[in-house]
Amino acid sequence: MTTIAVLGNGRVGGNLATALTRAGHEVSVAGRAAGAAAAAVRAARIVINATPGAGSLERLAALREELRDRILVDVSNATVDGPDGLPAGLIYPGSSLAEQLQVALPETRVVKTLNTMLFPVMTAPAMLTRAPDVFLSGEDPQAKEVVRGLLGDLGWREEWITDLGGIQTARATEAAILFVPHVIRTSGFAPFAISIAR
């Protein structure tokens, strides 16, 4: 059992919290109440950033001391939304939210994952008709192994998990969000994941 704090209590955060609790972990979810995030982070070994990506850097940088020595699993995408509310551009072109978080939180081990799919797939990858992929980006091999274990608890098979390398590789997975609005306009909100055919 691992103590996990989920920052963000929307569909993504709620879905992850429910699934990880079901897998036997001790999970707390921090809403917007003052001090709630700090208290949750202090009590956790692993912190999941499921807050809206546009404001994630500011929110998490304010928790620098609380996040010291924690593993921060970043599942958010920092986007500029179009008139229809769907992603239209990247807030950090030439970089990524994950990289910005690692710079702002040098004593935190940031791992990027689960950001290349619609949220229901995060906790039920077998729902898709073809094998999906999930990617890992981060500087700390041990932290990535811990996150790999969490992915297994969420139903991800070992062969579906690809370690892309350092945190800079999050640029690629975060840019994949630009596929999403076009896929949604074509096929609706049916669950899907960005995968690599081999």
CATH, residue 89: 3.40.50.720
Quick one: pLDDT at residue 36?
87
Inter-CA distances, 108 with 74, 93, 95, Å: 12, 23, 18
Quick one: pLDDT at residue 107?
98
115 close to 77: Cβ distance less than 8 angstroms: yes
115 close to 121: Cβ distance less than 8 angstroms: no
**Position 81 in a domain:** yes
**Position 194 in a domain:** no
Measure the CA–CA gap between 5 and 17, rounded to whole angstroms.
8
Q: What integer is the mean pLDDT of 107-113?
A: 98
Report the number of distinct structural domains present in the chain: 1
**Position 146 in a domain:** yes
Q: What is the 3-state secondary structure (H, E, C) of 109-128?
A: EEEECCCCECHHHHCCHHHC
* Model confidence band, residue 35 (pLDDT cutoffs 50, 70, 90): confident
The single-letter code of the amino acid at 7 is: L
User: Which pair of tokens denotes residue 127?
Assistant: 């729902």
**Position 196 in a domain:** no
Domain limits at 37?
3-187
Percent of the chain with pLDDT over 90: 90
Q: What integer is the mean pLDDT of 4-23?
A: 96
**Position 182 in a domain:** yes
Burial category of 97 from C-beta neighbours within 10 Å (exposed 0-12, middle 13-18, buried 19 and up): buried
In the 8-state DSSP scheme, what is residue 66?
Answer: T
Quick one: pLDDT at residue 134?
98
**Position 176 in a domain:** yes
Q: What integer is the mean pLDDT of 121-144?
A: 97
Residues 67-84 pLDDT 10s: 999 999 999 999 999 998
pLDDT of 98 strictly over 90: yes
**Position 197 in a domain:** no
pLDDT of 33 strictly over 80: no
As a whole number of Å, the end-to-end CA separation of the chain is 34
**Position 198 in a domain:** no
91 vs 197 pLDDT, higher one = 91
pLDDT of 34 strictly over 70: no
Measure the CA–CA gap between 38 and 140, rounded to whole angstroms.
23
